[in-house]
């Protein structure tokens, strides 16, 4: 029997974060695909927030991708995806917090907004976030290395990547491309695309364009869309 069970959805970037960690650490896992448009009744028992991802590991049932990934890091320490040094560990958490509280909400707000003025505001906000990532993340923190924290992949890389795989939706529906000056970010993206955990979880651009159409025309009725509208 697999060590870990994950309730997941192919379209979900948060679930992809966790599946990539499971794959990178070569943890045996069973994935249960949840149809987010038609969640089974029993899912409410499994997932207190009604969301994927959730993992079951022995007695422990854990939700929230950031918390799950730190749990996996603690229980399955090899290969390490977080630095041992307390200062760098804090930096890792700061970037993941930035992803969760600033970067990903701006992504959804831009996609959900129907008003052109609001779209402009969120496009600018996301543009600033991308420049911040380029300068504070890649140029200052990473230096000349490939990944966010240096020459080894970490939870930061795996926490951001899924939204860049889905960038095609922002490009197609809202005309936002990655800024020309984000050369390090673009190079990182190319390296990430070669990573086995990315390749094993990747979906096609058509798949995302179809699924995110509901966000772009504001028809999405799931919990996440509702929360992001209020954000
Ligand atoms: N903060 C959560 C977010 C998870 C989340 O928003 N999952 C979405 C799919 S991407 C979900 O399951 N939404 C349920 C719904 O929309 O009804 C995490 O980091 O795990």
Does residue 80 belong to any structural domain of this protein?
no
Is 151 found in the same domain as 127?
Answer: yes
Which of 12, 23, 126, 220 is labelled catalytic? 12
In angstroms, rounded to a whole number, what is the distance separating the alpha carbons of residues 25 and 196? 11
Return the structure tokens found at 173: 């529906």
In angstroms, rounded to a whole number, what is the distance separating the alpha carbons of residues 64 and 116? 32
Q: Give 48-101 pLDDT, tens digit per residue.
A: 999 999 999 999 999 999 999 999 999 999 999 999 999 999 999 999 999 999
CA 183 to chain centre: 21
Tell me the best of 38, 224, 229 to mutate to test the pocket of ligand 1, counting ligand atoms within 8 Å of each CB and taking the most: 224
In angstroms, rounded to a whole number, what is the distance separating the alpha carbons of residues 182 and 53? 30
**What CATH number has the domain bearing residue 181?**
1.20.1050.10
Q: Count of CB atoms within 10 A of residue 227's CB?
A: 13
Half-sphere exposure of 94 (CA within 13 A, CB side): 12
Q: Give 119-136 pLDDT, tens digit per residue.
A: 999 999 999 999 999 999
Does residue 81 belong to any structural domain of this protein?
no
Q: Give 185-200 pLDDT, tens digit per residue.
A: 999 999 999 999 999 9
* Listed residues 46, 75, 104: the one ending a domain: 75
- Enclosing domain of residue 69: 4-75
pTM of the full structure: 0.97
Distance 50 CA to ligand 1 centre (A): 8
Ligand 1 proximal residues by C-beta, below 6 Å: 9, 12-14, 36, 50-53, 64-66, 222-224
Is 199 found in the same domain as 102?
Answer: yes
**What CATH number has the domain bearing residue 58?**
3.40.30.10
Q: Count of CB atoms within 10 A of residue 94's CB?
A: 11
Listed residue (33, 34, 100) closest to 68, CA to CA: 100
Q: Is 182 a catalytic residue?
A: no
* Listed residues 48, 75, 102: the one ending a domain: 75
Looking at the DSSP bridge assignments, the partners of residue 5 are: 30, 56
């Amino acid at each position: 029997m697999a060590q870990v069970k994950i309730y997941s959805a192919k379209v979900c970037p948060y679930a992809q974060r966790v599946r990539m960690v499971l794959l990178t650490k070569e943890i045996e896992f069973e994935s249960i695909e949840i149809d987010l448009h038609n969640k089974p009744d029993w899912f409410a028992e499994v997932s207190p927030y009604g969301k994927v991802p959730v993992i079951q590991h022995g007695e422990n049932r854990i939700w929230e991708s950031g918390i799950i990934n730190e749990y996996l890091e603690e229980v399955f320490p090899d290969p390490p995806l977080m630095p041992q040094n307390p200062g760098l560990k804090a930096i890792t958490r700061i970037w993941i917090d930035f992803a969760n509280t600033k970067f990903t909400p701006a992504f959804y707000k831009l996609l959900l907004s129907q008003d052109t003025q609001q779209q402009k505001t969120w496009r600018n906000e996301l543009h600033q976030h991308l420049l911040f990532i380029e300068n504070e993340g890649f140029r200052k923190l990473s230096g000349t290395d490939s990944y966010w924290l240096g020459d080894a992949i970490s939870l930061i890389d795996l926490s951001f990547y899924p939204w860049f795989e889905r960038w095609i939706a922002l490009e197609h529906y809202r005309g936002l491309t990655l800024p020309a000056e984000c050369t390090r970010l673009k190079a990182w993206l190319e390296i990430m695309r070669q990573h086995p955990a990315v390749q094993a979880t990747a979906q096609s651009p058509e798949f995302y364009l179809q699924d995110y159409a509901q966000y772009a025309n504001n028809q999405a009725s799931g919990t996440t869309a509702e929360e992001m509208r209020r954000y």
